[in-house]
């Protein structure tokens, strides 16, 4: 049987066989007897024009196998690659900080500048993934103001008091400070600050923040303004949340947005 119209109506148009004619008279003999005769006539004419396989004899590359136009297949492969890139970027962006490529490292005694920054080996380090209240910031607890910014610094001092602090750097922030994942005594300093409620998640440690809020620890025991918002409304320099290897996050967001728009278009079709 001639294959030219066995697939989809648009295939008929691709092989210059009138889809409207085939639709009117039936598919290769399906329908009344007269329609079957007319349909077979269309089939014979198409064979003479396109060949027994039902594909145009002209325009085919030498040695290529007959098949449907490559446009659809190429588009499908493209979207599969796009989806795999999105999945890869998504999981790469969620790798533990210690598994990422480091731009430097420092170890030794450290001093706390505030609740989310310290100095070690002559380097100014911004602890990545967290945001602590500013030193001048106050919060509310049981209706009473307390110096949450200074207490956050005191908590950081307690964490680094062992003297054996190690920081792995992953780039710099907009102020030239090294962005570092630091640990002391085998404990992740950033994670401990967020888990204790003395800092909020700022690109990482979402699970620790959720637990601190649930158990009403530190800042979460009362009311407070997010440090980022406090800086914005009190004339302090602002900074964006930390995204380690930010190009991965940006690529992931872009890919996911593209996929979302495509799926939305499919849903509307």
Determine how β-strand 123-127 pairs with β-strand 178-184: parallel
pLDDT on residue 38: 58
Please state the domain extents for the chain.
1-61, 74-93+245-269, 97-240
pTM for the model: 0.56
pLDDT on residue 224: 97
What is the per-residue pLDDT across 36-76, written as a single tens digit (0 to 9) for each?
Answer: 555 556 555 655 555 554 444 444 444 444 544 445 666 67
pLDDT on residue 264: 62
Ranges under pLDDT 70 in the chain: 1-75, 82, 85-86, 88-100, 240-269
pLDDT on residue 11: 46
Q: Which residue has the tokens 């795999």?
A: 84
What is the per-residue pLDDT across 178-205, written as a single tens digit (0 to 9) for each?
Answer: 999 999 999 999 999 999 999 999 989 9
pLDDT on residue 89: 55
The candidate with the shortest Cα–Cα distance to 132, out of 171, 186, 189, 187, is 189
Residue 70 to residues 65, 66, 73, 77, 109, Cα–Cα distance (Å): 12, 11, 5, 11, 64
pLDDT on residue 149: 97
Fold observed for domain 97-240: OB fold (Dihydrolipoamide Acetyltransferase, E2P) (2.40.50)
């Amino acid at each position: 049987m001639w294959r030219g119209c066995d697939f989809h109506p648009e295939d008929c148009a691709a092989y210059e066989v009138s889809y409207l004619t085939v639709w009117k008279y039936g598919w290769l003999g399906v329908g009344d007897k007269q329609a079957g005769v007319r349909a077979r006539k269309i089939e014979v004419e198409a064979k003479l024009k396109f060949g027994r396989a039902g594909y145009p004899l002209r325009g085919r590359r030498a040695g290529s196998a007959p098949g449907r136009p490559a446009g659809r297949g190429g588009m499908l492969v493209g979207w599969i690659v796009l989806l795999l890139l999105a999945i890869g970027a998504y999981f790469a962006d969620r790798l533990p900080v210690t598994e990422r490529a480091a731009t430097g490292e420092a170890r030794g005694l450290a001093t706390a500048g505030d609740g989310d920054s310290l100095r070690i080996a002559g380097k100014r380090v911004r602890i990545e993934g967290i945001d602590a209240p500013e030193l001048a910031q106050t919060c509310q607890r049981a209706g009473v103001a307390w110096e949450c910014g200074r207490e956050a610094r005191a908590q950081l001092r307690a964490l680094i008091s062992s003297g054996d602090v190690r920081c792995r750097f992953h780039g710099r922030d907009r102020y030239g400070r090294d962005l570092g994942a630091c640990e002391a005594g085998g404990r992740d300093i950033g994670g401990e600050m967020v888990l204790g409620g003395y800092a909020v998640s700022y690109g990482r440690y979402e699970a620790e923040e959720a637990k601190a809020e649930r158990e009403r620890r530190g800042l979460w025991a009362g009311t407070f303004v997010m440090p980022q918002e406090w800086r914005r409304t009190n004339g302090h320099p602002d900074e964006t949340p930390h995204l380690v290897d930010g190009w991965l996050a940006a690529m992931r967001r872009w890919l996911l947005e593209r996929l979302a728009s495509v799926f939305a278009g499919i849903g509307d079709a």
